[in-house]
Every structure is written in structure tokens, then in C-alpha cells.
Amino acid sequence: MAKNPHYISQLAHVEVYTTDLEASVKFFTDLIGLDETGRDGTSVYLRCWGDYFHHTLKLTPRDTPGMGHLSWRADSAEALEEVVAYLESTGAGEGWVDGDLGHGRAYRFYSPDGHVHEVFWDVVWLRETGERGSVFADRYASNRRRGMSPRRFDHVTLNTSNYPADRDFYKGLGFKNPDEVRLDNQPGERAIGGLFTTGNLSHDIAIFTDPGIEPNQGLLNHVAFNFDSREEVLLACDWVIECGYTLAMGAPTRHKADEGFFIYVDEPGGNRFEFYAGARLVFAPDHGPDVHYLKDNPNDAWGIVSPWKADGTFKDEHASVKH
């Protein structure tokens, strides 16, 4: 039997630190329309109606916002043991931890710039019943059109002080690299960011350089949820304004790199979230990277809004938050 050249099957969930837990929970349930699926002593667990696992977002209170950890599901029980052995051989491993609500034991590790990750296999597939249940057998919850109502958790974008090291790290884990952003087209690579995927999505994780941060102090840039259509993104714009929030970039637009149509919204706990649709899919295992240059503003295909200055530093002081 052919063996997949990777250890990880999918992005499972993200833990986000919030400075105001209950305000964040209200934001994600009332404005965004996520379902709360559990609470423990400190954290609240949520997911979109189209997600299958117990949760895809974990909210944990802390004095400063940012990312707690990013969680991946292994390709199989055997792949979990294999990736643990690989991570230990690279020195990136931290060790085993008991699972959160919704999944079994997990192995914690660090990417080169200090972002905390975990990988697990045993998981709870949460099929709702009653008012949350669906008549569709392949939906594990119904779409009750609450708030913005995104379908699923999509990706996470992180900032790093050393993109080439992170790129090599994720490639070593078997991720594809369909897009890369470079500072310019002068001789020498001068890469400052890229997109990485475990399967067919345009990306499960994006990594971008922020020269303003110190080594091993990687930051959370944003977390993204996905809609089925661009029309839903436009409808979400109205709902954001009606609820008293603002669009972080002022209007929807489209990424040049990956082609996703999107908006950003900052939640009251201090973190930025993206809501988008229409990004390309990548099926070929040997595709890419397609190269984009900073001067062409890969963040905004239709306008002039860019998070970067010409030297690759970030303009927006809220574009990333410490974890």
C-alpha cells in the first residue's frame, strides 16, 4: 500500500487567549454564530455548524491576548507515533499532555519561532441531536443561520522572526507550500512568508515574517473561518456593523495570494479573526510554490490595503498579538 508522505491529516483546533472571556464568548456565539460545545474549569469550547470534532476554537482567559496552542490530527494512530519520533529527533518535542475536552492524549512541540503545537489521534466526533441536530446525514449540526454562521474552521496565520526556518520545519512535517511571498525579485530568494497545507486547501497555516519581533517570540496574526460563498461574506459585513463592531480593513477585498474573498474583525478579547470564501484548491502533491512579491501586495488583489511596509515590517500594530 502506498504511504502518504506526511504525518498530519488536518488542522483540528486552535486555543486563543482572551482578555475578556465572557465578552469573547458572546462575540463568537451571538455575532459569529458558533455553538458552545463545552466548558472546563477555565476554558470555553466552540465550533462552526459544519465542523465535525467536539470543538475547533478553545477560548482561555489571560491578561494578554494571543495563541495558546495550535492542534493537528495525525494521519493515523501509527502516524502519531512516527511524527513523535520525528519531532524528538529534531529537538522540537516538548512531551505528552492529557487531552482537552474532545480528544485524547496529545504530543506538544514547538515550531522554530516558539509557537506551541500539538498532535493527537483519538478524537470525539460530535453529532448533535435535538434542536442542534440536522436532517442531513453528513452534517453533525444544523445550520440555524445564527449570526454570521460560517461553515467551518479554516486556517491560522502566524508571524515569525525567521520564515526560512519555519518553512523548512513545516516541509519536514510533510506540508505542501503552494504560495510564497518574497521581498523582491532581486538575485537571492529573500522570502518573507508563505502558505502551507496538509491537503487540498490553499493553506491550513500561513507564516509571515515580522522583523519587529525577537527570536522565539512568534505571534498570532489571525484565525480564519470559512463561508460557502462570497455573498455570505458580504452579508456578514452588514451584520458586523449592525452589532456595533467594525471591519478591521474597512471593507471586504480579495487576497492575491490564494484568491480568498475576506474581511477581518477584531474580537473584544484582543484577537483578529478572518471570515472568507472562494480560495483556490490545490490537488497536485508537487505543486508550487507560486511566487508573489511584496510590491504587488499579495494581501489585496483589488486595492491598496497592505499590512506591510516596503521593508516587510507590519504597518498595523494590531496585525499580530503575543502568545
**Mean pLDDT, range 33-48, rounded to an integer:** 97
**pLDDT exceeds 90 at position 320:** no
> By the 8 A CB rule, do 207 and 163 touch?
yes
| High-pLDDT (> 90) share of the chain, % | 82
Closest CA to 60 of 14, 17, 122, 90: 17
**Mean pLDDT, range 212-237, rounded to an integer:** 95
| Residue that wins the pLDDT comparison between 249 and 323 | 249
Closest CA to 12 of 115, 124, 91: 124
Closest CA to 297 of 254, 260, 256, 258: 256
Q: What local confidence, expressed as pLDDT, does residue 322 receive?
A: 44
**pLDDT exceeds 80 at position 245:** yes
Say what the pTM is. Answer: 0.93
**pLDDT exceeds 70 at position 307:** no
**How confident is the prediction for the chain on average, in pLDDT?**
92
Q: What local confidence, expressed as pLDDT, does residue 189 receive?
A: 78
Tell me the per-residue pLDDT of 106-126, one tens digit each, with 9 for 90 and over.
999 999 999 999 999 999 999
**pLDDT exceeds 50 at position 1:** no
Domains 8-132 and 152-322 share a fold: yes
Tell me the per-residue pLDDT of 84-105, one tens digit each, with 9 for 90 and over.
999 999 999 999 999 899 999 9
Pairing relation of β-strands 35-39 and 321-322? unpaired
Measured distance CA(79)–CA(279) in Å, rounded: 29
Domain range summary for the chain, segments of one domain joined by +: 8-132, 152-322
The verdict on domain 152-322 having CATH code 3.40.470.10 is no
**pLDDT exceeds 90 at position 28:** yes
Query: Picking from 53-67, 229-243, 266-280, 300-314, which range would have the lowest pLDDT averaged per residue?
Result: 300-314
Q: What local confidence, expressed as pLDDT, does residue 310 receive?
A: 59
**pLDDT exceeds 70 at position 308:** no
Neighbours of 135 (CB within 10 A): 6
Q: Which CATH number fits domain 8-132: 2.60.40.1930, 3.10.180.10, 3.30.540.10, 3.40.50.1820?
A: 3.10.180.10
Q: Label residue 186 by pLDDT band (50, 70, 90).
A: confident
Tell me the per-residue pLDDT of 139-153, one tens digit each, with 9 for 90 and over.
999 999 999 999 999
**Mean pLDDT, range 210-216, rounded to an integer:** 87
For residue 137, give the 3-state DSSP assignment. Answer: coil
Q: Label residue 216 by pLDDT band (50, 70, 90).
A: confident
> By the 8 A CB rule, do 63 and 20 touch?
no
> By the 8 A CB rule, do 208 and 292 touch?
no
Please list, residue by residue across 234-256, b when 16 or more beta carbons sit within 10 angstroms of its beta carbon and e when fewer do: eebbeebeeeeeebbbeebbbbb
Q: What local confidence, expressed as pLDDT, does residue 187 receive?
A: 74
